[in-house]
Amino acid sequence: QVHLVESGGGLVQPGGSLRLSCAVSRSFFDINAMGWYRQAPGKEREMVALITRNGNTHYGNLVEGRFTISRDLAKSTVYLEMNRLEPEDTAIYYCNVRAPNVDSWGQGTQVTVSS
């Protein structure tokens, strides 16, 4: 079982930045992919960013160019750097880890973009 703990959410003004962190309870050696997803009220959960075992990254259309996913293998942590935030980015952000027989989610962290 993999346990994930997200942090870094909060309230930010439009145009601002936030950095989310997701601490993973196990090493990365057999993890296939880690990602960030978000769910806004009344909407389905959507993929925000993914990073694969070999370091390839993928982004949702709405965030590409503004968000950056990265990881620190030594700290077993994955990050989401969010820049030029927009009110439409308001959502609960969830960290996800996928490995053989594993599909684990964090508890979520709220991001609110408002003036």
Question: Quick one: pLDDT at residue 58?
Answer: 97
Distance CA 106, CA 5 (A): 6
- Those residues whose C-beta lies under 8 Å from the C-beta of residue 75, and which sit 6 or more positions away, are 23
The DSSP result for 21-35, as a single string, is EEEESS-STT--EEE
Mean predicted lDDT score pLDDT of the chain: 94
Higher pLDDT, 68 or 25: 68
Distance CA 107, CA 76 (A): 17
* H helix and E strand count, the chain: 0, 11
Question: Quick one: pLDDT at residue 28?
Answer: 66
pLDDT band at residue 110 under the 50/70/90 scheme? very high
Query: Is the confidence at residue 47, as pLDDT, over 70?
Result: yes
- CB 63 within 8 Å of CB 90: no
Task: Please return the burial class of 111, using the count of CB atoms within 10 Å of its CB with bins 0-12, 13-18 and 19+.
Answer: buried
pLDDT band at residue 1 under the 50/70/90 scheme? confident
pLDDT digits (tens, 9 = 90+) for 60-107: 999 999 999 999 988 889 999 999 999 999 999 999 999 888 899 999
Question: Quick one: pLDDT at residue 27?
Answer: 73
DSSP code, position 100: T
For 89, the token pair is 């980015």
Distance CA 47, CA 62 (A): 10
Q: Choose the weakest-confidence range: 10-19, 25-34, 71-80, 106-115.
A: 25-34
